[in-house]
Amino acid sequence: MNEEQLNNWLNKRKERREQLNAADLLSKMRLQEMSALSTAITLLESTRKDDQKIANELINLSLPYSGNSIRIGITGVPGVGKSTFIESFGKVLLNAGKRIAVLAIDPSSEFSGGSILGDKTRMEELSLMDNVFIRPSPAGKTLGGVARKTRESILLCEAAGFDIILIETVGVGQSETMVHSMVDFFLLLMLAGAGDELQGIKRGIMEMADSLVITKADGDNIQKAKLASREYQNAMHLFPPNPNGWIAKAMTCSSVQGENLEQVWQTIESFINQTTLNGWFSKKRHIQDKFWFQETLKDLILDRFFLDETNEHEIAQAESDVIDGKISSFQAAENVFQTYINKQNGTKL
Ligand SMILES: Nc1nc2c(ncn2[C@@H]2O[C@H](COP(=O)(O)OP(=O)(O)OP(=O)(O)O)[C@@H](O)[C@H]2O)c(=O)[nH]1
Ligand SMILES: [Mg+2]
């Protein structure tokens, strides 16, 4: 491409971006135009100020149309069969007349350069079907940032009329806690006979699960899977009772054979019915809204402080004073913060 062609291309791109407008995008999304939803999520992920402005407008405009889906989190160690499960389970949902969106949170994507859904191979058939939207994990500097974008993507998918949002996350680190705080139903996939420690599954994650499914219950593995399911069902009775009145269920399934996937869907439906009737469904959503408000506020405050170059010198000086034992870490932090506040007050005057 020579310089003139490059300039033409850049100008066209600029024009296209300038033509983007939140209200237009929303009306296209409401008409179920997938490309409008893709563009909307791209704007959300963009670091450009003008893109972010449109994205924020779009989220505000989308709010009245959002909230009407069932949000399902799916977690488990790498290789447990999450993507294959979503491929097969997705078809069960489509047969039930649902429109489904699949999103992902992948804490490792930053390092591997890819993402869980980067290779969509295991969702090949699903990704070609009507009424399906699949979007890989957004890239981001922090898990908090990625999680926030995923949560905003949920709202956009809902405004675009999707009934079920599936969120795949790898069962390591903090990502499942993040996903748990944005879904209605949390599904933990597990392997039979691999040992809890091997699977990196901590008791805390099992306690978060609304249902536990032993995957790959086919061939020689069926008996082992059934036994594991019974053992987990017994173990879950030992957990403190859930305030929503729901007792987590352990099941087996085979995504490859398409076994027991309807049963998983029925379990989710009865959970939704039960928690809607006893008020927990909306109560949990309110708790989550409040949580995300506070998380975003914290992020904004932290960004404001740490991205402000004028603080760099004071922070560096305080750090070396702490290391040299000249001042305690607590006092150093208070001093730096006070200097910052004084500076803020000074700029207001
Ligand atoms: N026999 C059998 N194999 C399965 C089943 N589900 C998944 N697998 C196989 O298990 C392997 C891992 O499946 P994935 O769906 O990619 O697992 P994942 O949890 O999404 O993995 P990551 O995205 O890497 O975390 C693949 O080779 C699948 O073919 C099943 O129901 N039965
Ligand atoms: Mg996967």
Q: Give per-10-residue mean pLDDT for the chain (349 aa).
A: 80 69 95 94 89 93 95 91 94 96 74 47 80 82 80 96 93 77 94 66 79 95 92 82 88 96 97 96 95 89 86 92 95 94 78
Please tell me the residue having the least CA distance from ligand 1 atom 30: 216
Q: Are both 1-65 and 66-277 of the same fold?
A: no
What's the pLDDT at 65? 95
Ligand 1 contact via 81 beta carbon (within 6 Å)? yes
- Measured in angstroms, how far is the CA atom of residue 171 from the centroid of ligand 1? 14
Task: Select the CATH number that applies to the domain covering 1-65 from these four: 1.10.3470, 2.60.120, 1.20.5, 1.20.910.
Answer: 1.20.5
Nearest ligand to the CA atom of 80: 1
In whole angstroms, how far apart are CA 181 and each of 166, 186, 292?
Answer: 14, 9, 8
Half-sphere exposure of 28 (CA within 13 A, CB side): 15
Ligand 1 contact via 114 beta carbon (within 6 Å)? no
- Measured in angstroms, how far is the CA atom of residue 83 from the centroid of ligand 1? 7
Nearest ligand to the CA atom of 191: 1
- R_g over Cα of the chain: 23
Chain-centroid distance of CA 267 in Å reads 22
Look up the CATH number of domain 66-277: 3.40.50.300
Ligand 1 contact via 146 beta carbon (within 6 Å)? no
What's the pLDDT at 114? 46
Where along the chain do its domains lie? 1-65, 66-277, 308-348
What's the pLDDT at 199? 55
- pTM equals 0.87
What's the pLDDT at 289? 93
Nearest ligand to the CA atom of 79: 1
What's the pLDDT at 113? 44
